[in-house]
Chains A and B, each alone.
Chain A
Amino acid sequence: MIAINAIDQLAEPYDIAIVGAGPAGLAAAARAAELGLSVLLADENPAPGGQIYRAVTTTPVAKRDVLGEDYWKGGALVERLTKTTASYAPGCTVWSVAPDEEGGFELGLSLGGRARLISAGQIILATGAQERPFPIPGWTLPGVMTAGAAQIALKSSGLVPSGRTVIAGCGPLLYLLAGQLAAAGADIVAVLDTTPRRNWLSALPALPDFLRSPYLAKGLKLMAAARGKLSFRTGVTALAAQGADKVTGVTVTRGGKTETIACDALLLHHGVIPGINLSNAAGCAQHFDTVQHCWTPTVDDWFASSIPGIAIAGDGAGIGGAESAALRGEIAALDAVRRLGHLTEGQRDSHAAPARAELARSLRGRRFLDLLYRPAETFLAPPANETIICRCEEVTAGQIRDTASRLGVTGPNQMKAFLRCGMGPCQGRLCGPTVVELIAQVHGVSPADTGYYRLRPPVKPITLAELAALPPSEAAVKAVVR
């Protein structure tokens, strides 16, 4: 592996550029490099692993059972990559992907405060997932974080919340985190479970598959570990974070009764959704996945997007978890190598066969979890008008509902023009799904019919200093201004 620590070390053009060094990106990069192609793996984070295997090579958590055996599997993926000739650029942000004139692609990158455009023949986006927005009154207070954030602090820095901690939401990752934090010695005063009881009805038909899946044993173990030690409260129908300039408590409604639990940290989780900003801005077609209830790039069996030459592997193309992400990365890489003419279709297919079989196994039972842990309507489209939806521009649910009904705004892009929601630095990552949901609710249509933000590069803010470092070429202007 060639470590890239400064932007002028990039030896372009690359055969394949891969964005994101989680399980999908690591597996894709390793596979393509093993087949003799020149590969760049660019990742925003300081160390490989993505979020699920965050800091797997550098974590200061000494006791292995705190993070669980699944976490340590990430080490093998990193080790495999280090044995190849792939270039790996940590701390490198990819802010634009666009076709160039020669049938390849141009990527806009920033590393160490400098920007550069490089070219690559094929692109694999492995940008993974982000937490689903969990808008409740007070969720912007310091001390309120995502469950994933607490997990990252634990994995990469060996930190746990120091005071009374409340965990709220639903889904396997929530129970996993509760177990991990408890094992690491955090003071968890309550786990507030928002799983809607009627979800059992819609999830039931998917139960038989789940019962035969690898999730089952794992899930039962997680639940037993978390429930045994922790104070679980189920049937939660409303939440609000309390406090003036930091969180001091959380108000909980269950069974029609409301109580306030004092706390110093509130960790929220309603599952993860694909991070679609880069694929959306690159122009890859997206659709609304009604089972996972989120916008998802449309891909084929080889994880190829609607733009020939751009594949999307891992959770960024639909949530499947770490194991499936690595397999999807592997399969996408084989097709990219085939597109570059280094494998025949037959060779590609036979190389991919074992990964495909594994993939089917790893995804079995997923549907049940997706349906069971789908957040309730009241968390997807918050009823309290004062709830901030766009954290960047501080736009509330009331403003969005009002603008949708009074001014007849029917889509998120128009809403953006009226209220600036989605125009802050996060570029709609934390308001997009909720804005869509609120508009859909006001007009009585589905999120699919409402559409999503149309995004433009750069997908991360770049500074004037970075821009100034770009050559004054037409390509540079196109990459930044559209």
Chain B
Amino acid sequence: MFRPIADIKPGPSLGFTFDGSPMTARAGDTVAAALLANGIQACRQTPVSGAARGPYCMMGVCFDCLVVIDGVGNRQGCLVPLREGMRIETQAGRRHPDGGQS
């Protein structure tokens, strides 16, 4: 889990939901950073064993930050900038190229 540093530059915040719960984060955050800042550590379950995973590299390499964003699955949360009103969900089950879940 992460928290903002003490003397962070003030900035506007954005509202979004994660698995239905309303949350806010700083404008400029990526989806993965916004989740970490809200105490969310796990954002997907693996297709093989169902184990919980969360962001590992934050730079587009590991794909452990995969989430469903506004109904589109398998998005790399660490590369997508957060937008107002985003509906973010846990990525569960087997990966389908177009985001469906099973």
Contact = CB atoms under 8 A, between A and B. Distances in A.
Interface size class of A (residues with CB under 8 A): 35 or more
A153 B36 contact: yes
Q: Is the interface of A mostly helix, strand, loop or mixed?
A: loop
Contacts of B86: none
B29 A149 contact: no
B77 interface: no
B48 to A, nearest CB: 4
B64 A130 contact: no
Interface in B6-54: 6-9, 11, 26, 28-30, 33, 36-37, 39, 41-42, 46, 48-49, 51-54
Interface string A131-155: 1000000001111111011001110
Given A158-B26, A184-B5, A185-B6, A461 B81 contact: no
Contacts of A393: 48
A394 B7 contact: no
B95 A425 contact: yes
B52 A246 contact: yes
A148 B58 contact: yes
A160 B2 contact: yes
A391 B59 contact: no
Kindly name the residue among B41, B62, B63, B99 whose own CB sees the greatest number of chain A CB atoms within 10 A: B62
A391 B54 CA distance: 12
Question: Shortest 3 CB-CB distances between A and B: which pairs?
Answer: A142-B54, A149-B58, A142-B41
A264 interface: yes
A145 B56 contact: yes
A265 interface: yes
Contacts of B8: 60-62, 158
B97 A160 contact: no
B57 A143 contact: no
A434 to B, nearest CB: 14
Nearest to A265: B1
Given A60-B28, A157-B37, A158-B26, A51 B4 contact: no
